[in-house]
Structure 1
Amino acid sequence: MQKYKEMLRTRAALPIAASKSEILQLLRENNVLVVCGETGSGKTTQVPQFILDDMIESGSGGYCNIICTQPRRIAAISVAERVAEERCEGSPGSRGSLIGYQVRLDSARNEKTKLLFCTTGILLRSISGDKNLTGITHVIVDEVHERSLLGDFLLIVLKNLLERQSAHNGRVLKVILMSATVDSALFSRYFGNCPVITAQGRTHPVTTYFLEDIHETLEYRLASDSPASIRWETSSKDKRGVDNHRGKKNLVLSAWGDESQLSEDPVNPYYEPSNYQAYSEQTRLNLRKLNEDIIDYDLLEDLVCHVDEICGDGAILIFLPGVYEIHQLVDKLTASYRFSGPSSDWILPLHSSLAPNDQKKAFSQPPANIRKVIVATNIAETSITIDDVVYVIDSGKHKENRYNPQKKLTSMVEDWISQANSKQRRGRAGRVKPGTCFCLYTHHRFEKLMRPFQAPEMLRMPLVELCLQIKLLSLGYIKSFLFKALEPPKEEAMTSAISLLYEVGALEGNEELTPLGYHLAKLPVDVLIGKMMLYGAIFGCLSPILSISAVLSYKSPFVYPKDEKQTVERAKLALLTDKTDLNEGDRQSDHLLMMVVYKKWEKVLNEKGVKAAQQFCNSYFLSSPVMFMIRDMRVQFGTLLADIGLISSPKNYRVMPRKKENLDSWLSDLSQPFNRHSHHPSVVKAILCAGLYPNVAATELGMAGAALSNLKQSTGLLSKGSLAWYDGRREVYIHHTSINSSLRSFQYPFLVFLEKVETGKVFLRDTTIVSPYSILLFGGSIDIQHKSGVLIIDGWLKLMAPAQTAVIFKELRLMLHSVLKSLIRNPEDTSASNEVVSSIIHLLLQEQTPVN
């Protein structure tokens, strides 16, 4: 009881507590309410409890059912645990608790749960089963200001639902949108000018210094040969543009036009002399010749040393755009005199691809008289909080994915952050006591040039999965639905997504969902990966495909310690060659490497236990938590395929304890019908092709002459022989992390991939060399040139085969199409033993057999 009273006192001291009665009153009078609160206001943990307690006190607790969405699984779990602790209840989902959580692969709830914290995707999936959210009294959408793809999609769905309910004068759902104090008017307008209530935060004051102040305080001198100096940038005589390998192209040349004029007196195009009259001549000179798009590492080093020398206790958090930039600064600082010796151990990188143990060090306390310096990406902006940070240094940059629907290409672009991001980063300095933020951009840039908010994901991400969900939820035509969004995506982005759904066979006719599309919409993965899993089940090679799908959907299990890239690549090769039945051609596959890694790890885990599995991970630079996550995802995907009916559950499946390790052993069991061809790499690679097509690239040997010459004419490419790859539109490059990046010859002139990314060049991540038969069976339209024996696939890929073979393949394709249709409509048909499937497997195995 004493503990409960203390908790009540703690809760009452939160800023949001002062608004409790107003929030409840506004909710009685309105169906939608926007609650704004800065970091530390307590809105996330308190608002759901205000509603729960009010309903219990008014005698309505019996039918109270609140769902609170969080954009990240880690937040859903930690908030649920915190709320249960505040109420002095058992852990979420336990018998004595009204609180629960549900995230992908993890759930803690029961029939008594009255307040459920879940990820946005979980709520959308429950809407697909019950479009009216029957029995739900309140939906709270937290962190709406993040403008995630699913978050904005959920808002359209909720708005539609509220309009339907009020038209029928029935029970009306209450919707609460919770946001940081940014752009609340936008959300209010979207829901018919609903009321907005704002609570103050509980952060300490943060003193902010902009770039001009930093130059002035440090008496900094920008060297003329510094990479951040425009004079240095334009010193080369033959330049016809300012080459900035990070960030955007500088605008100087286009502004002045004549390079000789520029060389005489280059000026920063954003320099406004009247802004800096109170500053020294040196600072004005620095800013006048500064290239603001380049990160000045000399300045960063001077600033970190200055803070360490002059300022009081507290960690320094430095925001940089990416891993490359983090390593640049970490190397520079650890080589400096000030951070030599034991201090260098506390210059810590922090980014999502870091091993979990290395991430944890950022949260620990350094020894006395040693300053902790964390150099991080924007992962430290919202996802995680480091409590002892007092000083923030903000480069003002981040990297974000942008999707170009014309090129069908995702680019990782470095850009300036928004004002909202800047304020969020600044707030990280005031968590425990008054702090200081040093911004490496001018006050003028912050006020006049930065966007107020980051571009919503819906405007810069592929829309394919979203379009599938619209059809699954019977929400009407895709474009007319998405035009109802808070900020609708461009029409060409919608057209691109719809055409891909037709291409993979998920849509037909007048935007009707096919049986394949219906199953793909039920699988929580990229449509190409979903198609690959369905084919894996039908063609009897499910276990390897599940491992590959889990890695592609989550992340690579390989961790790259600093300066160990070559060692990791050697470890990959060792995994592929040591005690595997793979021939040299089969080793030309990142996807088969994923299969081998999982198979070997699972064997060690099952035979020797968790400690040995951890040791295996350490030996081969693998992340143990990622491997366990891959296992859990295999089980989730396998269970979904069993629920669909594409694979048969074990006889004792309903009664056996549904432990993840038991289910995974069943999925790995080679005696199961769905695994009868799992030991044939050629079948696995063909199914990769079936799923990932049209994501294919070819060398000149695999391209039709007309397509190649058109490409060379339009792009001015020179012939590069068998080592250059093309995707039909341009030259592409195998990413340096791929097992195929250093190879000089390939088994076949074709490869498949999941993702291409543009960072200067267009790179293909995770590649597999695939055979001509795979392309013939699972590729696009076939054009047979009878006389020459040339087959053209999709107008640009070239294969050599007798016309008779091509006709057989065409027939097989038609038969396969009708078999797949009937199997997907009626999964109880025995799949792997089907005659057509067996014939295709036979052909694929025959292709691999050497001719004597």
Structure 2
Amino acid sequence: MRLMFYRYSDHTIEALEMFDNDDKIDLELILALIRHIVLKEEEGAILVFLPGWSDISSLNDLLTAQQMFRSDRFVIIPLHSLMPTVNQTMVFKRPPPGVRKIVIATNIAETSITIDDVVYVIDGGKIKETHFDTNNNISTMTSEWVSLANAKQRKGRAGRVCPGKCYHLYNGLRASLLDAYQLPEIMRTPLEELCLQIKILRLGSIAQFLGKALDPPTEKAVNLAIKNLIDLNALDHSENLTALGFHLARLPVEPHIGKLLLFGALLGCLDPVFTIAASLSFKDPFFIPLGKEKMADMRRRVLSRNSKSDHLTIVNAFQGWEEAKQRGSRCEREYCWDNFLSANTLQMLHNMKGQFADHLMNTGFVSSRDPKDPKSNVNSDNEKLIKAVIVAGLYPKVAMIKPSHSKKRPGVKVYTQADGKVCIHPKSVNAEETEFNYKWLVYHLKMRTSSIFLYDCTEVSPFSLLFFGGDITIQKDEDQETIAVDQWIVFSSPARIAHLVKSLKKELDSLLEEKIRNPAPVDWQNRQSKDCAVITAIIDLITTQDKPTVSSTKGTLWRPAPRGQHTHFKDGNDDDDDD
């Protein structure tokens, strides 16, 4: 093998052998390559492809630590969806003569945008892809080798208007092993939204139709999507669309978010729920400037107003933006800058809310195209009700909070039924929270990267889970009764309250089913109507519920049953309890 490399030193050969065995990108090598281009090559912008935020941030730090790159002869522009919009626009501006532009980007710079003055491309060879693990019903994000199609696109970014060069940071053997294309999206994402489209278009059996695709998804992925839609009550057991499924299929969002929209309309908190749905469908409006991550996290926590909810944090941020905008463009810019918010993203969310209102008005759920219509927002100031509507949309994505007795990591530990111990994503306002009012969180996304993380989570009360979660059952245990949601979220309760909740839950389910079959706005003016009476009774219960804490449940109305006795969670790693 060594005879093939007789022209190179032993040091070079050893470096090459080690290079391709390491899954991590060698940022020091990229730094050295950038220095080589700057010192030895002609003028022209440099575009570096890296897989994600962590690598972009690290390379930016390496460059700015060098005296050479801190001079005004260089413009370094990190390009990522979490970066401020001003950074995104700077990439298109040609720098003055004698100034070299260095862009550090993800694969967004492959096809989504064209930077016409790029002459040199450095291809790190990796890309971050989201996959869906059907065995564990969880999304995963991993850094993987690019495909040949990716590599060709990256090469094509070099020299759009003059001859250019592309440096691929992998050897010929690795290049020969690359796949021709990325795995098709239909084979690596959840299929619920697609399944609903198949049913509303009357294309027959979901499995048979998807089996005709050029790259069909696995049978397991299809069956899991159908099961999830049945659990959501969007399909019946014969795979027919229910009334709810019909409306969800017509909404331009994934099914859980569609259900969130419908419940926001039915329960009179339309505007804040529209904001939440728009952000979950598109992206949240916060950006993170490099070097100011802690300050951005602090502003996000301030905007949460101790709601212990990422969803309500975005509602608060959006409302603040609307108020600032009314005071003039200067106030709007200052508000967005001070709170690390993207005005472009906020405007996009505003536009999406208008589209949601159009859809719901066309189907009869609301009487106005204005998301702020007073008739549809009689309960929009009720934070606890909005959290209950979030449960209605996101259930069964539920996690349990437990106090942590670890000396190394004080605070709380979080568990899901399927995975055991998980982590709240560091970007969440709940990531460093140590005191919660209740023991339950609902979340929008669960993803495995370095650990299993919960994204976009909100603390919710027992009544929210009981009324807007799954089926509830009552059991008598010796001297007390328990009430359970889907037989695994279990609370101790006085018998009278348990039976009252079950009766009200039955009335609510019946009412909601009728409203979905025959859409019409709730007449909040007529408090004597059955619709209004049932919903008002439930809202009153949710709003006035006592506040137990994680650390103590004595004397409270609702208590989670002992973990080993009723609430069944997969065992996690609790080794840190004794640290």
**TM-score, with structure 1 as normaliser:** 0.61
Aligned residues: 538
Query: How many Å separate the matches in 2 of 1:822 and 1:377?
Result: 48
Which residue in the other structure is 1:620 paired with?
339
1:336 Cα deviation (Å)? Answer: 1.7
Relative contact order higher in (CA < 8 Å, ≥ 6 apart): 2
1:484 Cα deviation (Å)? Answer: 0.5
Query: How many Å separate the matches in 1 of 2:231 and 2:42?
Result: 61
Whether the 8 Å contact between 2:508 and 2:534 is mirrored in structure 1 is yes
Query: How many Å separate the matches in 2 of 1:355 and 1:324?
Result: 16
Which residue in the other structure is 1:339 paired with?
69
1:792 Cα deviation (Å)? Answer: 3.0
Query: How many Å separate the matches in 1 of 2:194 and 2:331?
Result: 41
Residue 628 of structure 1: SS of its match in structure 2?
Answer: helix
Query: How many Å separate the matches in 1 of 2:284 and 2:11?
Result: 48
Residue 413 of structure 1: SS of its match in structure 2?
Answer: strand
1:829 Cα deviation (Å)? Answer: 6.1
Which residue in the other structure is 2:509 paired with?
817
The answer to whether residue 197 in structure 2 is matched with residue 499 in structure 1 is no
Query: How many Å separate the matches in 1 of 2:73 and 2:26?
Result: 23
Which residue in the other structure is 2:500 paired with?
808
Output one character per residue of 1:12-68: Cα deviation in whole Å (capped at 9) or x when no partner: xxxxxxxxxxxxxxxxxxxxxxxxxxxxxxxxxxxxxxxxxxxxxxxxxxxxxxxxx
Name which of 295, 319, 322 aligns with 1:599.
319
Find runs of 4+ consecutive structure 1 residues off by over 4 angstroms.
272-275, 848-852
Query: How many Å separate the matches in 2 of 1:746 and 1:274?
Result: 66
Residue 676 of structure 1: SS of its match in structure 2?
Answer: coil
Residue 78 of structure 2: SS of its match in structure 1?
Answer: strand
1:594 Cα deviation (Å)? Answer: 1.2
Which residue in the other structure is 2:298 paired with?
570
Q: 1:325 is matched by which residue type in structure 2? A: D
Query: How many Å separate the matches in 1 of 2:544 and 2:14?
Result: 73
Higher Rg:
1
1:495 Cα deviation (Å)? Answer: 1.0
Name which of 421, 442, 447 aligns with 2:150.
421
Query: How many Å separate the matches in 2 of 1:508 and 1:803?
Result: 33
The answer to whether residue 425 in structure 2 is matched with residue 728 in structure 1 is no
Which residue in the other structure is 2:99 paired with?
370
Q: 1:786 is matched by which residue type in structure 2? A: K
**TM-score, with structure 2 as normaliser:** 0.89
1:274 Cα deviation (Å)? Answer: 6.1
Residue 72 of structure 2: SS of its match in structure 1?
Answer: helix
Which residue in the other structure is 1:348 paired with?
77
Name which of 429, 438, 444 aligns with 1:739.
429
Q: 2:67 is matched by which residue type in structure 1? A: Y
Structure 1 residues 352 and 573: alpha-carbon distance in aligned structure 2, compared to 1, 3 A threshold: closer
1:278 Cα deviation (Å)? Answer: 4.3
Q: 1:294 is matched by which residue type in structure 2? A: K
The answer to whether residue 154 in structure 2 is matched with residue 434 in structure 1 is no
Which residue in the other structure is 1:668 paired with?
372
Query: How many Å separate the matches in 2 of 1:740 and 1:722?
Result: 11
1:298 Cα deviation (Å)? Answer: 1.9
Name which of 399, 403, 406 aligns with 2:128.
399
1:405 Cα deviation (Å)? Answer: 1.5
1:831 Cα deviation (Å)? Answer: 5.6
Which residue in the other structure is 2:189 paired with?
461
Q: 1:756 is matched by which residue type in structure 2? A: K
Query: How many Å separate the matches in 1 of 2:486 and 2:415?
Result: 14
Output one character per residue of 1:173-194: Cα deviation in whole Å (capped at 9) or x when no partner: xxxxxxxxxxxxxxxxxxxxxx
Output one character per residue of 1:610-631: Cα deviation in whole Å (capped at 9) or x when no partner: 3322221112111111111111
Whether the 8 Å contact between 2:304 and 2:429 is mirrored in structure 1 is no
Which residue in the other structure is 1:258 paired with?
none
Query: How many Å separate the matches in 1 of 2:195 and 2:3?
Result: 51
Which residue in the other structure is 2:249 paired with?
521
Whether the 8 Å contact between 1:699 and 1:722 is mirrored in structure 2 is no
Q: 1:633 is matched by which residue type in structure 2? A: M
Output one character per residue of 1:581-634: Cα deviation in whole Å (capped at 9) or x when no partner: xxx5xx11111111111112112223x133322221112111111111111111
Query: How many Å separate the matches in 1 of 2:299 and 2:202?
Result: 48
Whether the 8 Å contact between 2:44 and 2:118 is mirrored in structure 1 is yes
Whether the 8 Å contact between 1:753 and 1:767 is mirrored in structure 2 is yes
Structure 1 residues 520 and 826: alpha-carbon distance in aligned structure 2, compared to 1, 3 A threshold: same
Query: How many Å separate the matches in 2 of 1:620 and 1:836?
Result: 40
Which residue in the other structure is 1:482 paired with?
210
Q: 1:793 is matched by which residue type in structure 2? A: V
Output one character per residue of 1:110-160: Cα deviation in whole Å (capped at 9) or x when no partner: xxxxxxxxxxxxxxxxxxxxxxxxxxxxxxxxxxxxxxxxxxxxxxxxxxx
Query: How many Å separate the matches in 2 of 1:594 and 1:576?
Result: 8
Which residue in the other structure is 1:791 paired with?
483
Query: How many Å separate the matches in 1 of 2:429 and 2:414?
Result: 15
Query: How many Å separate the matches in 2 of 1:772 and 1:611?
Result: 44
Structure 1 residues 836 and 280: alpha-carbon distance in aligned structure 2, compared to 1, 3 A threshold: same
1:302 Cα deviation (Å)? Answer: 1.1
Matches within 5 A, 1:216-295: 273=2, 276-290=5-19, 291-295=21-25
Q: 2:372 is matched by which residue type in structure 1? A: S
Which residue in the other structure is 2:394 paired with?
692
Query: How many Å separate the matches in 1 of 2:3 and 2:444?
Result: 51
Q: 1:647 is matched by which residue type in structure 2? A: V
Aligned-CA RMSD value: 2.2
1:524 Cα deviation (Å)? Answer: 0.9
Output one character per residue of 1:229-262: Cα deviation in whole Å (capped at 9) or x when no partner: xxxxxxxxxxxxxxxxxxxxxxxxxxxxxxxxxx
The answer to whether residue 391 in structure 2 is matched with residue 638 in structure 1 is no
Which residue in the other structure is 2:286 paired with?
558
Output one character per residue of 1:656-683: Cα deviation in whole Å (capped at 9) or x when no partner: xxxxxxx5xx4224xx222111111111
Whether the 8 Å contact between 2:367 and 2:521 is mirrored in structure 1 is no
Query: How many Å separate the matches in 1 of 2:304 and 2:50?
Result: 36
1:773 Cα deviation (Å)? Answer: 0.5
Which residue in the other structure is 1:446 paired with?
175
Name which of 588, 608, 615 aligns with 2:308.
588
1:809 Cα deviation (Å)? Answer: 2.0
Query: How many Å separate the matches in 1 of 2:291 and 2:11?
Result: 38
1:277 Cα deviation (Å)? Answer: 4.4
Whether the 8 Å contact between 2:464 and 2:542 is mirrored in structure 1 is yes
1:294 Cα deviation (Å)? Answer: 2.0
Query: How many Å separate the matches in 2 of 1:463 and 1:734?
Result: 25
